[in-house]
Chains A and B, each alone.
Chain A
Amino acid sequence: MTNCLSLNLGPQHPSTHGVLRLLLKLDGEKILSCEPDIGYLHRGMEKMAEKMSYIQYLPLVDRIDYLAGFFYSELFCRTVENALEIELPDKVRAIRVMLLELNRISSHLLWIGAFLMDLGAVSPFFYAFREREMILRYFEKLTGQRMMYNYFVFGGVRKDIEFLEDVEEILSILPEKLDDYEKIITDNPIFIMRTKGKGILEAKTALNYAITGVNLRASGVDYDYRHNDPLYKGFDFRAVVMDGKDSWTRYKARILEIKESMNIVHQALVYLKEGGKLEQKLINPLNLKLPEGDYFQEIDAPRGTACCYIKSTGEDKPYRLKWRTGSYYSVNLLKKLLKGEYLNDAIAIAGSLDIILPEADK
């Protein structure tokens, strides 16, 4: 190993996702070992929680994953609601499910754009962002901001759902646009050559590395937390399970998952259009104290199962708060997945796992 080369991929490399840094050992173009280095976006989200009351911490959890803020907001609200044994009314559940799934669509759309950009295709990036923009416009209309929504509160939502016609429009436009993406991407020979058979993730490896979400389901494991989730009770959907195990399958699984999410949004929309008064079980946040004990909840976020753990000593702030995020495990998987691959494929494989660094660094 006299002529082995060490290479830093990132954290400011234009094609890495955010601030991912990979320390690669190369023999020619072949990767001998990969050491991911994270922490460039560490904001101390867990430590901050110990110094803040629950309501003060709530606006900050959107920032854990800025592409899917609703999921973390919902997860934190859910942990607190569960500790106080509050059951959400049906309408609040429908509102939350609809927004979560729209958020999942927008997150996957961004991934499609960014992934294709990694592979050198520029136009899908603009198309995906155009459709994502429609969803973000709707979120902005409803919640006031495009990414840091802060819309869910303990026991309900900030205000009643509005502008349902916008959601209808999104649902009517998206299928056609998805077909457009598939026309450009799915059968494109260049795309197939760069992704088919690359970054193969066996089901056993995925489970050993605690991979969840789409990446796991694209390896043929039928695990979708949404089926056990009380929030999704009454919604009819199937988990997208595919058996290809490579980057191409992970892409296809996300496209199919967008379609499945659209189906869930449609069901929620039909329920919400019936109207009905918004009943909420709001908690006064000023004297909110969780009873002493440990609380744990999970949710199926776009990048894998996310969990929130709160240890409370009966005070108005958590004694300890811990997040489990999907991207952290995906970054760790790169060690295994990139070994023996070529440098040209490194970013394509890393991109296919949908890594988002604020989530990994917390």
Chain B
Amino acid sequence: MTLNPISSIKALFEGLMTVFKHLFRKPVTLEYPEKRRMLNDAFRGKPEVDGCIGCGVCKRVCPSGAIEFEKNENGKVISYTFDLKKCIFCGNCAYYCPVKAIKMTKDYELGVEKTENLILKYKGGADD
């Protein structure tokens, strides 16, 4: 493959000029633990529950089986657990919840010392 040397040098020079322009720009990286990226409202982090009626829709739409219910003898839901080890943060439960009791928060730092702490247990659900 033969190339025209003059046009090659011109192309190299043009390319280098484009690269050199960036020398005078500010860095774009953030020093993570000190500075954090702004998260927007739609962000899907750790799920939180408030005001559940125990209908069980979330369990049926959850792809990974992260949601479990505990029922009393009358078949009513008395407590439920979110297993964050299984959760894939798809947001199906929050989207299909009929009373919008499940919210995906902005909390994404889920490091814990014990894995049991990743299982969120909530009380309630049964109508009093």
Does chain A bind chain B?
A: yes
What is A's interface to B at a CB cutoff of 8 Å? 52-53, 55-60, 123, 130, 140-145, 148, 150, 153, 158, 180, 183-185, 187-189, 192-193, 196-197, 285-286
- Is A189 a contact partner of B42 (Cβ separation < 8 A)? no
Partner of B11, one of A53, A55, A158, A189: A189
Partner of A142, one of B3, B18, B42, B92: B42
Neighbouring A residues of B7 by C-beta, 8 Å: 187
- Is A189 a contact partner of B90 (Cβ separation < 8 A)? no
Neighbouring B residues of A141 by C-beta, 8 Å: 40, 42
- Is B19 a contact partner of A184 (Cβ separation < 8 A)? yes
Given contacts A56-B63, A57-B63, A59-B63, whether A187 and B44 have CB atoms under 8 Å apart is no
- Is B43 a contact partner of A55 (Cβ separation < 8 A)? no
Interface residue B15 (Cβ < 8 Å from any Cβ of A) = yes
Alpha-carbon separation in the docked complex, A197 to B22 (Å)? 32
What is B's interface to A at a CB cutoff of 8 Å? 1, 3, 7-8, 10-12, 14-15, 17-19, 22, 28, 40, 42-44, 57, 60-63, 88-92, 95-96, 104
Given contacts A60-B63, A140-B43, A144-B44, whether A286 and B90 have CB atoms under 8 Å apart is no
Other than the given A150-B90, A184-B19, A193-B3, 15 more pairs (CB < 8 A) read A55-B61, A55-B92, A55-B96, A59-B90, A140-B43, A142-B42, A144-B91, A145-B43, A148-B89, A150-B91, A183-B17, A183-B18, A185-B15, A187-B15, A286-B61
- Is A56 a contact partner of B61 (Cβ separation < 8 A)? yes
Neighbouring A residues of B95 by C-beta, 8 Å: 153, 158
30 A-B interface contacts by CB (under 8 A)? A52-B63, A53-B61, A56-B61, A56-B63, A57-B63, A58-B63, A58-B92, A59-B63, A59-B88, A140-B42, A140-B43, A141-B40, A143-B42, A144-B44, A145-B43, A148-B89, A150-B90, A150-B92, A180-B18, A187-B7, A187-B14, A187-B15, A188-B11, A188-B12, A189-B12, A192-B1, A193-B3, A197-B1, A285-B96, A286-B57
Q: Which residue of B lies closest to A143 (CB)?
A: B42
